[in-house]
Structure 1
Amino acid sequence: MAACGAYAVNTVQPSSPPAAASGAKIPLIDDAAFPNIGDRLSAKGIPWAWFSGGWDNAEAGHPGPTFQYHHQPFNYFAAYAPGQPGRARLQDETTFFSAAAAGTLPAVSFVKPYGTENEHPGYASEHTGSDHLVDLLQAVMSGPQAKDTLVVVTYDEFGGQDDHVAVPTVDAWGPGTRIPAILISARMQHSGVDSTQYDTTSILATIEQAWGLSPLSSRDAGVNPLTNAIRAGTSGGQGGNG
């Protein structure tokens, strides 16, 4: 881990439990100074939750061997520390499956699979991860909320060594090389490829647009939301360069 001013580069651990016994930890982030998308949703009264594979075991003090502490973004913020009201938003992935079956999923749901089920090379396998993804998708699409749900599947890294498309320059932090993203909805009548330029913060922008939330930063304020891709799937039109 290297630090430069107010920035940390590479893996840092949360201060709130569950946290790794070793590795650099950073102080809890002040939500008032640096709000996240969960804070924005809560302020508007929008139901939401973060579902993580292995969370209950990790929180109870006996994490699985591939539970990733640093893959729990909200656990870095003061509003979601143990004892704080926001802590209830951090839930186990098993709750996601039961909520999907019951039709009680929050309006915005984030899902982070357990380590061996996230397709990461080195400690996970592609087929185990993709099989688990199918389970997650089937839970949503067979549930009572399927007709009103948009699922966005994406990754934090790319799967190859080369990309023929030059990486655009937006700011000092990227974007980086292209990563896969798949949009799925029972309302989509067509499949295809959208050529609009997006980045990961396009997901934030889509949530913000849908719920009338203020942007978190200049990045999500200026990026394309996923509107073109959604429109292409539901109307049969071609995604364009928005």
Structure 2
Amino acid sequence: MIAAGFTALAAVALSVGTASATAVASPGLPAASAAHSRTATPIKHLVVIFGENVSFDHYFGTYPVAANTDGTAFTAARTTPIPNNYLSHPSLLTANPNLANPARLGASQAVTCDQDHNYVDEQKAFDGGLMDQFVQHTNVENCAGSSAAGPIVTTPGLVMDYYDGNTVTGLWNYAQHYAMSDNSYGTTFGPSTPGALNLVSGQTHGGIALNPSTGAYQASSYAIQSPDPVTHIGTVTADPDPFYDDCSNSDHNPAKNANSTVAMTGTNIGDLLNAKHVTWGWFQGGFTPSTPATATTLAKCGGTTHSNIAGVTSVDYSPHHSPFQYYASTSNPHHLPPSSMGMIGRTDQANHQYDLSSFSAALSADNLPSVSFLKAAEYQDGHAGYSDPIDEQHFLVSTINAIESSPEWSSTAIVLAYDDSDGWYDHVASVIRHGSADTNVNQATDPALATSDQPLCLDGPRASAGYEDRCGPGPRLPFLVISPYTRPNTISHTPIEQASITRFIENNWGTGRIGDQSFDARAGSLSSLFDFGHPQRRTLLLNPDGSVQQSGSSR
């Protein structure tokens, strides 16, 4: 039997979707096509591919120079600029201030341990901007598990290590032909869920910890930090699952996950796009339930799994990677499919939340929404521990090849961005623009056991509106734009962050701002990554190993 509290709140979310569908739908093709064509730039379709857990130096530390001793061969164009990395600071490879020097990981070392990327531990690794405490605070050399292909890679000081263009060949080739930023950051410190929330709202404040079955308030030092004593609203710094999702907490199995879930208040970019009748959707691997919901049972997702290249198996769908499921207004609790092909991107029972297969279907039918967010199934999302750069590359190449081969390519921008750094070393310290003075982040009852925001956050600008635990920007992350409207082989140094994507959507489709201290207001512009006056009019198709298959004129 579905718990009464969960059913009531899920019904609210579904009723919101039904009401909205009535408002914007019309017989035949639903309304929205005229409105979404009005944009401030030539970009009519934005596709955001949101990867997992990579620092900039972890993937681009020696770009554009690859060792070419293993993996897929890579040779850069002679005119390739050098970003802010180990090539521009060579002493970092031989006399690094950390306890270990960065070392190259070869293509046979693609599957590694997941590093420590907690909100405070990342601050500690930064050491006030000295960037010299990663081995002590975020390093994880040994982790449980071996695979059919052998043990997961372990090596001293693993957190310092990096891949080059012989393993992340596809990303390096995209950087060669399109635009990359070497000055992009997580909007705050912390793991996946804060990164995902910052992507869609520029905001990690506004959450309430709830019992996953009853919907009643349930205090949780893990789910919410600095809760208001009356409203219980606080900030998300960890990875609690979304309340409005049947598949949260390991398909509601308290033996596997007894944590509180979180419901977010406030506004997200989906709400703003809906208000403007702009088509959009979040598309995630494994979203189609392995067991559909019934009138008396919740949907289940745990039955859909895949294995990575090393034979490590994981469930495809991760609820805490699905940010719109935290909001009643944009959630699809029972993971219902779109009511028809023509409704993908518009408001119906799916409420803009889809399986990745719906993106492929919409693209094939020339029905691509104006704004699409893509999240790979876990085994292909790049998250160390259960995914890896090679499986991630397979997803990126197949997806981007399909987009570049479609009629929509001529008016499309693909953004490759990441949710967090996984704690992997990066030598660049962000400039803290929003401080936090929480001296008991872990809400310990014993003051001696309290974990505090670190000095770089304590000494940063005072938290706006008293919203603590949003210190940032955090670690430096990879960021690429793939579009006919980028200048080839260019690197932007303009400071940007995850919320810069939110800001671009707001500006391009004229939605207005999120409000309530969202970091969209301060986020840097993506304009330096585009060249709207000189479109390229060509495509770059890659092979599964990331090498160039075809580069030429587009239709």
TM-score range, shorter chain: 0.7 to 0.9
Q: Greater RCO between the two (CA within 8 Å, min separation 6)?
A: 2
1:99 maps to what in 2?
Answer: 362
Does the CA-based 8 Å contact 1:48-1:108 persist in structure 2? yes
Is 1:11 the counterpart of 2:246? The answer is: no
Residues 58 and 41 of structure 1, relative CA distance in 2, 3 Å threshold: farther
CA offsets 1:13-72 (integer angstroms, 9 cap, x no match): 111222122242335334xxx010000000011000110111012573243324211011
Residues 229 and 202 of structure 1, relative CA distance in 2, 3 Å threshold: same
2:380 maps to what in 1?
Answer: 117
Residues 37 and 44 of structure 1, relative CA distance in 2, 3 Å threshold: same
Separation in 2, partners of 1:228, 1:142: 26
Residues 59 and 18 of structure 1, relative CA distance in 2, 3 Å threshold: farther
State how 1:77-96 maps to structure 2 within 5 Å.
Answer: 77-79=327-329, 80-82=331-333, 87-96=350-359
Does the CA-based 8 Å contact 2:499-2:520 persist in structure 1? yes
1:223 maps to what in 2?
Answer: 523
Task: Name segments (4+ residues, structure 1) moved above 6 Å.
Answer: none
State how 1:1-242 maps to structure 2 within 5 Å.
Answer: 1=222, 3-5=225-227, 6-16=234-244, 17-20=246-249, 21=252, 22-30=257-265, 34-57=266-289, 60=292, 61-63=300-302, 64=304, 65-79=315-329, 80-82=331-333, 87-158=350-421, 161-172=424-435, 173-217=471-515, 218=517, 219-231=519-531, 234=534
The amino acid that maps onto 2:226 is C
| Partner SS for 2:281 | strand
Query: Deviation of residue 86 (structure 1)?
Result: 7.0
Residues 8 and 74 of structure 1, relative CA distance in 2, 3 Å threshold: same
The amino acid that maps onto 1:121 is A
Query: Deviation of residue 208 (structure 1)?
Result: 0.6
Separation in 2, partners of 1:73, 1:233: 34
Residues 18 and 58 of structure 1, relative CA distance in 2, 3 Å threshold: farther
Separation in 2, partners of 1:167, 1:233: 32
1:239 maps to what in 2?
Answer: none
Separation in 1, partners of 2:361, 2:480: 23
List runs of 5+ in structure 2 lacking aligned partners: 1-221, 228-233, 293-299, 305-314, 335-346, 436-470, 537-555
Of 139-148 and 19-28, the range deviating more from structure 2: 19-28
The amino acid that maps onto 2:287 is W
| Partner SS for 2:530 | helix
Of 227-236 and 114-123, the range deviating more from structure 2: 227-236
Over aligned residues, Cα RMSD in angstroms?
Answer: 2.4
Residues 116 and 85 of structure 1, relative CA distance in 2, 3 Å threshold: same
Separation in 2, partners of 1:143, 1:170: 40
Separation in 2, partners of 1:187, 1:178: 24
Residues 162 and 62 of structure 1, relative CA distance in 2, 3 Å threshold: closer
Aligned residue-pair number? 233
Query: Deviation of residue 100 (structure 1)?
Result: 1.5
Residues 86 and 179 of structure 1, relative CA distance in 2, 3 Å threshold: farther
Does the CA-based 8 Å contact 2:241-2:262 persist in structure 1? no
Does the CA-based 8 Å contact 2:382-2:389 persist in structure 1? yes
Query: Deviation of residue 98 (structure 1)?
Result: 1.7
Larger Rg: 2
Query: Deviation of residue 7 (structure 1)?
Result: 2.1
Separation in 2, partners of 1:86, 1:225: 34
Residues 227 and 189 of structure 1, relative CA distance in 2, 3 Å threshold: closer
Separation in 1, partners of 2:258, 2:372: 29
Separation in 1, partners of 2:410, 2:431: 35
Of 34-43 and 211-220, the range deviating more from structure 2: 211-220
Query: Deviation of residue 85 (structure 1)?
Result: 5.1
Residues 59 and 221 of structure 1, relative CA distance in 2, 3 Å threshold: farther
Does the CA-based 8 Å contact 2:286-2:301 persist in structure 1? no
Residues 71 and 58 of structure 1, relative CA distance in 2, 3 Å threshold: farther
Identity level (%): 28
Separation in 2, partners of 1:207, 1:139: 23
2:129 maps to what in 1?
Answer: none
Does the CA-based 8 Å contact 2:283-2:355 persist in structure 1? yes
Separation in 2, partners of 1:191, 1:222: 28
Residues 92 and 72 of structure 1, relative CA distance in 2, 3 Å threshold: same
Instruction: Using structure 1 for the length normalisation, give the TM-score.
Output: 0.87
